[in-house]
Amino acid sequence: MVGEGAPYATIALVVAGCAGWVLIRGGYLGAIHVPGVGSIAGQYVSFFKVAIGGPLNGDWWKLLSSPFAYLNGWYAFVALLACAIFGWLLERRHGPVFVLVVFFGGAVTGALAALAVYAEPIVSGANGGALALLGAWSVPDLRAARHGYYYEGDLLGVAAIAAVLLLTPYARPEASWLAGVVGLALGLVLGVGMLLFEPAEA
């Protein structure tokens, strides 16, 4: 049944994000050779091997790897904490597959939006995926609040976390504000969709 067992999808997303931060900060993803300069290794080389920095030029897999690319530990902490909270809550409600669909849907759609708008976009980290999870989880509570019904969640707390994630790009330029906004919008849409398909309570 949904809600039983450990939240394996959420755990996997958080562990992948932590692993991405360690690999990038340690410069473990290799070096590049620049003519006239020699071999350059380090965290920035590692970062741009998995993050989106400019047009993809055929590297479509970066749409899936960029949500796990972090240069800054505080950005990683905030994004992964939000993923852990709302991924776990959403996984209890709808199961692991829905969590993965929402996370990657928000992250990939947000990255595509940034690629479409900017000539040289930089997209990294899970702010789009985290905001998608937050948006999808909050839909039932938003509907209940709108109609004056009782709801279990803390919408003020949710709004505070959303605000931190949306403002993060102003402190960390490697986080895309557009990816976050688009991820949140997609999460709300998917949350509404799940709400419409839920069986009516007796």
Residues 116-149 have pLDDT tens digits of 999 999 999 999 999 999 999 999 888 877 776 7
pLDDT of residue 37: 38
The residue ranges of the chain whose pLDDT is under 70 are 1-4, 30-42, 148, 150-153, 199-202
Domain boundaries, the chain: 8-195
Report domain 8-195's class.
mainly alpha
pLDDT of residue 141: 83
pTM greater than 0.75:
yes
pLDDT of residue 47: 87
Q: In sequence order, which residues have a C-beta less than 8 Å from that of residue 27 and are 6 or more positions away?
A: 41, 42, 43, 45, 46
How far the first Cα of the chain sits from its last, in Å, is 19
Burial profile 104-135: b = 16 or more Cβ within 10 angstroms, e = fewer: bbbbbbbbbbbbeeeeebbbbbbbbbbbbbbb
pLDDT of residue 153: 66
pLDDT of residue 90: 94
